[in-house]
Structure 1
Amino acid sequence: MKASPADQKTLLTLQSIDTGVQRTTHRAANLPEAARISELQREIEGVRLRRLEKVGVRDDARTELGRIESDVAVVEARIKRDDARLLQSTSVKDVEALQSELASLKTRQNNLEEIELNVMQRVEDAEEAVAQVDAERAGLQELLDEVAAKRDAQLVELDAERTRLTADRDSLTPGIPEDLLALYEQRRARGGIGAALFRAGTCGACKMSLTGNDLQAVRSAPSEDVVQCPECSAIVVRTDESGLI
């Protein structure tokens, strides 16, 4: 295949654009913020599970406290009732029975109130534990939002760069001969690089230095010949920088 040196040199600009598109695409798919977001999401999920556990403990304590408060209310009501009956009773036997029952009820009341205080402390501790987990989750969520915002901003920038490069490519390719462009695209599809500068005896695509007959073939090929690297098959573009003269 033959093409003018100018058209061949245009391939270097096209390759630079395509490399830029590949680079921005790779960066967009591998932003460090994406990995950090996944890490934070895992941490938040762990906190969510711990919160469920803490809430379970708190709710159990609240249920127990409600039951004890109900028992205390029942005992207090019975004490109040017996006190009223004691004031109205004229029977010695009834008075003794009521006094005995009141003594038992007050003992029960004291025991229940002591238990109630202990359970109230458990409820308070459990609520504090839930609050601490909520604070931890809120902090992680805030950090996640910040990282996600940074990721999104970078994606916008990369998308804008990719759009610009694509526009540059669209304006450049119509000026390249179809057969030369087709060969470039074929080579690029195989190795990622379709064309590269040949300089100091080295292919810019695979970085292999040519020697002997391979180097001589490149050196002796007419400037209109489209030469491909014998190692990677990329188009090697010869310019004044190639040092072949």
Structure 2
Amino acid sequence: MNAEPADQLRLLDLQALDSKLDQLAHRRRTLPKLSELATLDTRLGQLRDVHAVSMAADSDLAREQAKAEADVDQVRSRAERDRKLLESGRGSAKDLENLQHELESLAKRQSALEDVVLEVMEKVETSSARTAKLAADRAEVEGERGRVAHELAGEQAGLDKDTEFTKGQRELAAAGIPADLMALYEKLRGQYNGVGVAAIVRRRCQACQIELDIAEVNAAKSAPADAILRHDSCRRILVRTGDSGL
């Protein structure tokens, strides 16, 4: 394959732009804030789950407290009824004696149930405080996530702008390069880490940084100016420049 020296030099310009596009894409994929955002998303997901469990526990405890208080009210109501019957003096001595025993039993029962209510209220207070703390932590992480997401979007927008500008430059650089040379270049780029062409600078390939041996130097010196050279070591296209040292 042959190509005009000017087209070969334009291929170097194209490679520089493609390398820049690769670098921009890599930078966009590896922005530190992407990792920071992922960490915050994980933390936020954990907080949401724990917060939901804590709110469910609050609801369960609220129902438990309501039931305990209802049990106390029921015992109080029964004790009040028995007290009124006892105070009325109606009934036999045996009935009145039974009422007195029942009132004593109900008093003990009420005391025990009130202790249960106090225990549940303490649990409710502890659970509510935990839920409030989790809600505050969640709000803090959500705020931090919003800040990081906003900053990330700004960084990505800047890189996207640079990418679009570089793509425009690439289109201009590629416009006049012969199709067969472009096809070879693209094939080699795909095979060798995005680098399909390199300049020879002081007898050294700028792609693999290996110095050309004497046979390669002599072959490059004797080759016509429009000949497409390939490096025996890395197989990229080699382009002769004023700094090649040939």
1:51 CA displacement: 2.9
Which residue is 2:86 aligned to? Answer: 86
CA distance in 2 between partners of 1:3 and 1:168 (Å): 22
Partner deviation per Cα, 1:141-183 (whole Å, 9 max, x = no partner): 2222222222222222222222111111112222223333333
TM-score by structure 1 length?
A: 0.89
- Which runs of no fewer than 5 residues in structure 1 stay unpaired? none
Which residue is 1:169 aligned to? Answer: 170
Aligned residue pair count: 244
Confirm or deny that 1:200 pairs with 2:194. Answer: no
CA distance in 1 between partners of 2:243 and 2:164 (Å): 31
CA distance in 1 between partners of 2:57 and 2:167 (Å): 58
1:119 CA displacement: 1.0
Matches within 5 A, 1:178-189: 178-189=179-190
CA distance in 2 between partners of 1:172 and 1:229 (Å): 23
- Which runs of no fewer than 5 residues in structure 2 stay unpaired? none
SS at match of 1:193: coil
CA distance in 2 between partners of 1:167 and 1:187 (Å): 22
CA distance in 1 between partners of 2:187 and 2:116 (Å): 82
1:79 CA displacement: 2.1
SS at match of 1:12: helix
| Higher alpha-carbon deviation: 134-143 or 71-80 | 134-143
SS at match of 2:243: helix
Which residue is 1:217 aligned to? Answer: 219
Amino acid at match of 2:147: E
SS at match of 1:240: coil
1:90 CA displacement: 4.5
1:206 CA displacement: 1.6
Amino acid at match of 2:203: G
Amino acid at match of 1:122: K
CA distance in 2 between partners of 1:92 and 1:99 (Å): 12
Which residue is 1:43 aligned to? Answer: 43
1:56 CA displacement: 4.1
CA distance in 2 between partners of 1:91 and 1:184 (Å): 113
Equivalent of residue 243 in structure 1, options 233, 239, 245: 245
Which residue is 2:119 aligned to? Answer: 118
Which residue is 1:159 aligned to? Answer: 160
Which residue is 1:72 aligned to? Answer: 72
Which residue is 1:32 aligned to? Answer: 32
Which residue is 2:6 aligned to? Answer: 6
| Higher alpha-carbon deviation: 153-162 or 202-211 | 153-162
1:68 CA displacement: 0.9
Amino acid at match of 1:169: R
Amino acid at match of 2:36: R
Which residue is 1:59 aligned to? Answer: 59
Which residue is 1:233 aligned to? Answer: 235
1:199 CA displacement: 0.4
CA distance in 1 between partners of 2:212 and 2:45 (Å): 56
CA distance in 2 between partners of 1:209 and 1:233 (Å): 13
| Higher alpha-carbon deviation: 24-33 or 8-17 | 24-33
Amino acid at match of 1:27: R
Partner deviation per Cα, 1:56-115 (whole Å, 9 max, x = no partner): 433332222111111111011112212322332255614433333222222222221122
Which residue is 1:140 aligned to? Answer: 141
CA distance in 1 between partners of 2:225 and 2:202 (Å): 17
* Percentage of identical aligned residues: 34
